[in-house]
Structure 1
Amino acid sequence: MTLGSRLTALPAVMMTPVAALMLATLVVLAPGLALACEDLTNRTQTAYKAGDLATLKDTFAAAEANADCSAETLQWMGKAIVSTVLRSVHEDVSQGGSLQAHETALREARPYGQDWRLEAWLGDIAFERGDFTEAATAFQDALNTLNDEELTPTAPDTAVIEEVYNKAEMARLAAADYVSAPTTRSGEPGGLAAPSYRGFQPAARLVPVEFQFGSTLVTPKGLRALRDLRDALRASGTQSITLVGHTDPVGGMAANDRLSLARAESVAASLRNEGYTGQIYVVGRGERDPLQWVAPLTQHQYHQALRRVEVRQ
């Protein structure tokens, strides 16, 4: 799917919550601000309403240098900057502009505050140009942020969460190297390793335990994925999983069925050797469940992504 066609649907899926959330967040002055910061906070409110990003950044810098401005004040000002950038991007793309044209502005907004929409859009930009490692990182950061009730008090629609999750999985499968899942602020498994996402529960997880062609030997990327899977299962206390093996479409169906089952059994044996004591069921699906891919992949990259094992609970 092209960037243009994805953006056609973006306001209804990824962008619809933007304006309401960011406007509701910042129109009321935070209570308890130090008197010495009153002029700066008033300037922030005025600049935010005017969409004056340059003044917002100047005011933030002045507040950083003012010992009377608290960390809470700086956080509030940072949110104003991030929200202003998101609003500008939303307005332009809604009128037919290119999301890619805003990459620099989105990147420059990162130091001012965390927002799942910012990371999701940077993930979209990286995904479209084929930088799957960066896309997987950004999408997982988006999942972490939207799953944090303090950072995202109002959760996006379940369909939006599912879209971000699916893109994160696809990007991680396509990445040349394994992209580990980040931890949450409390140190729990996050990103694609989180157990659930504000009402969205994945039915299956596309863990990129990849294999060499025609073999049950995992790739170096697959080894790192396998270790992460082991650690996530231990952290979550999961007592039962189903491993589903897959192949690319090269070769006969009967041979691929046997190979996919052998791959699932190989992963099961590795997990048991690493100390996983839960029940493991194995299934081989051969080439029957090809991925619905939207990334700009070569045939070699696509076939490598198809040689995988999924985890179902």
Structure 2
Amino acid sequence: MLKRIPLVFCLVAAPAAAGAACDTALSGLRNQIDAGSVPMMRLALDRLDAEGCNRPTQRAAARRVAGAMARQAQGHIREGRLDQAQEILRQVPALHWLVQSSRADIAMARGQHGEAANLYNDALDTLSDPALTVQRRELVPVIRTIAQLAQENMMLAGTMSATLSPRGEPSGLMGVLQRGIKQEKVPVAAAPVVGAETVDRAEPEVADAGGAQDRHDTAELETEPRQDAADHLTDQAGHLASPPREPVFSAAAEAARTLPGFYLPVQFEFDSDRLDPSGVREASALAAFLHKLEIHSFTLVGHTDEVGSASYNLDLSLRRARTVRAFLVSQGIHARIHVEGRGEGDPPELKGVALYNDEQRRAIARRVELVVPKNAF
């Protein structure tokens, strides 16, 4: 489940026009957040309007209350009190990434993996939107955990629909990847990889060998995230907290790119390298997404679970990766496609492992990963 991180619940500084009454109401709300009573937090939040606080102040305060309530819900989730956590989350006054990820934790604990995948991907969208989340660097480590949980639940749900539409329109995890790719302006050197199978656009069935250098340049964003005058945060010591030079979505893209690979829930017939009907559906969505990316190269890595001999699993994993490659080529993907098979030798490091039974763990292990190198453009 989601890694627990300390949260600082801070209130916005009221503008001078809001007056002493608004300042007093904000102070009261801060006290209720510290006290931790959900009903009293809601009452204190309602007072802001009556005391003349402006709309930006009220919106920012509502987000702080939502975060505080989600933190309470997380405590119940850790203790297995899912109904109590759900009741708290039902009362939140504003959209907040921790609310979405907490709801995802509940869904995952109840075995509702499709719903969990949707919510974890929604949390990624909220985290990376400067209009919804004040961009703080301490949020960046959370993104890797949420991204991993999103992948695991998509694997168990058997679909990427939480992050890719049938036409390849991305959101959540794949949206983060797409935004990261759009920021990069890296020249592509036509250098093949030693010992690797590749498909090149001129000769789609020819394997190459050679050497490649990995380069990475991340474009700086031109602007800071826009903040309303009343939407600046202060830390616990009362100091103004300045936004970082880059919004979270820029760092999120880099965090997502450092994952070992994007797990593709492309399923095959039992003990076979033939795509089953759901595998064809998911591979088609992937092809549509790759058309939009317009990348020059990527890697498909096949994996299996530990059932069967190591040599058989190694061969099966490579054959399955080749099947996905052949399907993508048939759909008009003209990038260089590097293919690897790792068999059972590289099991995933699961974030939600405490909630999975052996079959679920193996289902996630039986994967094909999409790896987009940093020099793929």
TM range (shorter): 0.7 to 0.9
What does residue 119 of structure 2 align with? Answer: 138
Deviation string 1:45-104 (CA, Å, 9 cap, x unpaired) is 52343235435546777999x9x99764552353243134135446x569x855633222
What does residue 311 of structure 1 align with? Answer: 370
1:235 to 292, 296, 299: 292
Q: Distance in 2 between matches of 1:125 and 1:246?
A: 29
Alignment of 1:24-173 (within 5 A): 26-29=11-14, 43=25, 46-51=28-33, 53-54=38-39, 57=42, 72=56, 75-89=59-73, 100=82, 101-109=84-92, 112-152=93-133, 153-173=135-155
1:14 to 4, 17, 30: 4
CA contact (8 A) 1:210 1:219 kept: yes
CA contact (8 A) 2:266 2:282 kept: yes
Deviation string 1:243-295 (CA, Å, 9 cap, x unpaired) is 11122333333333322222111111111222222111111222222234405
Report how far residue 174 of structure 1 moved: 1.4
- Which secondary structure does the structure 1 equivalent of 2:138 belong to? coil
- Choose between structure 1 and 2 for higher RCO, CA contacts under 8 A separated by at least 6 residues: 2
Deviation string 1:209-248 (CA, Å, 9 cap, x unpaired) is 1222111232444333323322332333322011111223
Q: Distance in 2 between matches of 1:123 and 1:222?
A: 25
C-alpha change, 1:220 and 1:305, in structure 2 (3 Å) is: farther
| Structure 2 unaligned regions, length at least 5 | 181-248, 373-377
Q: Looking at secondary structure, tell me which structure has more helix per residue.
A: 1
What does residue 280 of structure 1 align with? Answer: 337
Q: Distance in 2 between matches of 1:88 and 1:259?
A: 46
C-alpha change, 1:87 and 1:174, in structure 2 (3 Å) is: closer
C-alpha change, 1:312 and 1:170, in structure 2 (3 Å) is: same
Q: Distance in 2 between matches of 1:227 and 1:114?
A: 33
| Code of the aligned partner of 2:289 | A
| Code of the aligned partner of 1:126 | A
What does residue 320 of structure 2 align with? Answer: 263
- Which secondary structure does the structure 2 equivalent of 1:212 belong to? coil
User: 40-49 or 232-241: which moved more?
Assistant: 40-49
CA contact (8 A) 2:29 2:45 kept: no
- Which secondary structure does the structure 1 equivalent of 2:326 belong to? helix
Q: Distance in 1 between matches of 2:357 and 2:280?
A: 23
- Structure 1 length normalisation: TM-score? 0.75
C-alpha change, 1:257 and 1:87, in structure 2 (3 Å) is: closer
Q: Distance in 2 between matches of 1:275 and 1:32?
A: 60
Aligned length: 286
Deviation string 1:5-28 (CA, Å, 9 cap, x unpaired) is x7xxx7xx5321x1x2x31xx242
- Which secondary structure does the structure 2 equivalent of 1:213 belong to? coil
- CA RMSD of the aligned region, Å? 3.6
C-alpha change, 1:204 and 1:80, in structure 2 (3 Å) is: closer
- Which secondary structure does the structure 1 equivalent of 2:111 belong to? coil
CA contact (8 A) 2:264 2:370 kept: yes
What does residue 186 of structure 2 align with? Answer: none
C-alpha change, 1:88 and 1:256, in structure 2 (3 Å) is: closer
Q: Distance in 1 between matches of 2:141 and 2:43?
A: 38
> Which has the higher Rg, Structure 1 or Structure 2?
2
Report how far residue 206 of structure 1 moved: 1.1
CA contact (8 A) 1:211 1:308 kept: no
Report how far residue 310 of structure 1 moved: 0.7
CA contact (8 A) 1:211 1:304 kept: no
C-alpha change, 1:219 and 1:188, in structure 2 (3 Å) is: closer
CA contact (8 A) 1:240 1:278 kept: yes
1:296 to 309, 332, 355: 355
Report how far residue 154 of structure 1 moved: 0.9
| Code of the aligned partner of 1:240 | S
- Structure 2 length normalisation: TM-score? 0.63
Query: Is 1:174 matched with 2:174?
Result: no
- Which secondary structure does the structure 1 equivalent of 2:137 belong to? coil
1:217 to 254, 260, 274: 274
CA contact (8 A) 2:117 2:162 kept: no
Q: Distance in 1 between matches of 2:48 and 2:61?
A: 9
1:245 to 267, 291, 302: 302
C-alpha change, 1:147 and 1:27, in structure 2 (3 Å) is: closer
What does residue 239 of structure 2 align with? Answer: none
CA contact (8 A) 1:132 1:172 kept: yes
